[in-house]
């Protein structure tokens, strides 16, 4: 899927939505390792960006995004509109990240 055809907006400028295929999603559930938790603990002592968590969060969002794209392609979509992320802590140290949007078929104007 061409990621330039994925947007948080309700439309894609220069394209016409010809079919709405419904909601698609990609879900990833991650936990912190004991080593990551200890390393991040040390980073909090000096302050600033906690890169171990930043990297884990970015990787998790990328994985959820990729799964959402796969789900859209399985439904025959070539674009996704109204794309969003959501995250929930399921239990201490375990987080769910959800990427979701509306799968559509678009044609260039």
Per-residue confidence (pLDDT) for residue 45, from 0 to 100:
58
| 78 half-sphere exposure, CB direction, 13 A CA radius | 10
Q: How many CA atoms lie within 13 A of 42 on its CB side?
A: 6
Range of the domain at 38: 3-108
CATH, residue 95: 3.30.110.70
Query: pTM to 2 decimals?
Result: 0.84
- pLDDT value at 16 more than 60: yes
Closest by alpha carbon to 75, among 105, 109, 37, 43? Answer: 105
Contact 23, 100 (CB under 8 A): yes
Q: What is the count of structural domains for the chain? A: 1
CA 49 to chain centre: 21
Note the pLDDT tens digit of each residue in 48-90: 666 777 888 899 999 999 999 999 999 999 999 999 999 998 8
């Amino acid at each position: 899927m061409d990621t330039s055809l994925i947007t948080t907006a309700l439309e894609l400028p220069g394209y016409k939505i010809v079919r709405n295929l419904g909601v698609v999603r990609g879900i990833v559930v991650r936990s912190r390792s004991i080593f990551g938790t200890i390393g991040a603990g040390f980073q909090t002592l000096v302050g600033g960006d906690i890169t171990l968590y930043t990297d884990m969060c970015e990787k998790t969002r990328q994985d959820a995004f990729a799964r959402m794209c796969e789900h859209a392609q399985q439904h025959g979509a070539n674009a996704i509109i109204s794309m969003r992320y959501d995250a929930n802590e399921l239990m201490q140290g375990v987080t769910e990240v959800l990427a979701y949007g509306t799968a559509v078929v678009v044609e260039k104007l």
